């Protein structure tokens, strides 16, 4: 559908269909919409900042290469985030290491007012707490907290049931509340 892509009104399924027909502008628009959320999600899942560019690009490459496998059961973004999460898991396995502790991460130096500092501290504590959760709890929690995904969508993406997704989410919330307190 050359010439018909309107950044704000064209839906993700329409963009995916256009990309399948060879319209590369559709891919650009999909990347523009989701790349930042993907980067933030991967970072929250424990990716190192230095790896973010590579991980993001690899995730998008894999997603576009197998775009036929996205059937619209979940949102395109959530599907993308799940691919990224699997990629990150594989990377961690290959390195045979653990997800990076917050203490080892390069936290940007903020010369912001006190309120920003307090907000930054709260974020650091949540990120630290997230690294201590089992992977599935962390993934379910972030899909809920960052994307507002419902349990049905998460269950479709992660190959589980909505009930199990709900249990993972509530366990994560409970543990994070304890860790962040």
Partner 1 sequence: MTECGWLSDRIPAVSAGRAQWTPEEVQHLNLCRMCQQEWELIRVAGRLGNSAGVSFDAPAVTGAVLQRLERHREMRRARRRTWGLTGLAAAAAIAAAVWTGGVDQGSMRPVPAGPVVAGRLAIPLPELESLQPAELDSVLQTMDEPNVSGAPVDEPGLGNLNSDELESVLDSWEG
Residues lying near partner 1 in the complex (CB under 8 A) are found at: 24, 27-28, 31-32, 35-36, 39-41, 43-44, 49, 52-53, 56-57, 60-61, 64-65, 107-108, 110, 116, 119-120, 122-123, 126-127, 130, 141-142, 144-150, 166, 170, 173, 176-177, 180
Longest dimension (CA), the chain: 53
Contacts of 56 (CB under 8 A, 6+ apart): 35, 38, 39, 42, 84
Smallest gap from residue 90 Cβ to partner 1 (A): 18
Nearest to partner 1 of 90, 121 (CB atom): 121
Nearest to partner 1 of 14, 48 (CB atom): 48
> ∠ CA(83), CA(131), CA(181), 5° rounding?
130
Closest to 138 measured CA to CA, from 165, 117, 106, 161: 165
Q: What is the three-class DSSP state of 107?
A: coil
Smallest gap from residue 96 Cβ to partner 1 (A): 25
């Amino acid at each position: 559908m050359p010439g018909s892509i309107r950044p704000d009104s064209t839906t993700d399924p329409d963009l995916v269909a256009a990309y399948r027909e060879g319209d590369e502008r559709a891919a650009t628009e999909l990347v523009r919409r989701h790349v930042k959320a993907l980067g933030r999600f991967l970072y929250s899942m424990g990716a190192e900042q230095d790896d973010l560019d590579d991980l993001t690009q690899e995730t998008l490459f894999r997603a576009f290469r197998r775009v036929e496998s996205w059937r619209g059961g979940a949102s395109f973004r959530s599907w993308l985030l799940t691919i990224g999460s699997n990629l990150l898991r594989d990377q961690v396995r290959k390195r045979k290491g653990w997800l990076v502790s917050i203490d080892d991460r390069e936290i940007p130096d903020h010369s912001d007012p006190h309120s920003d500092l307090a907000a930054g501290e709260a974020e650091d504590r949540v990120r630290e707490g997230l690294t201590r959760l089992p992977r599935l709890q962390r993934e379910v929690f972030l899909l809920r907290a960052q994307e507002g995904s419902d349990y049905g969508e998460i269950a479709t993406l992660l190959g589980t049931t909505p009930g199990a997704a709900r249990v993972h989410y509530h366990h994560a919330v409970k543990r994070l509340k304890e860790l962040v307190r």
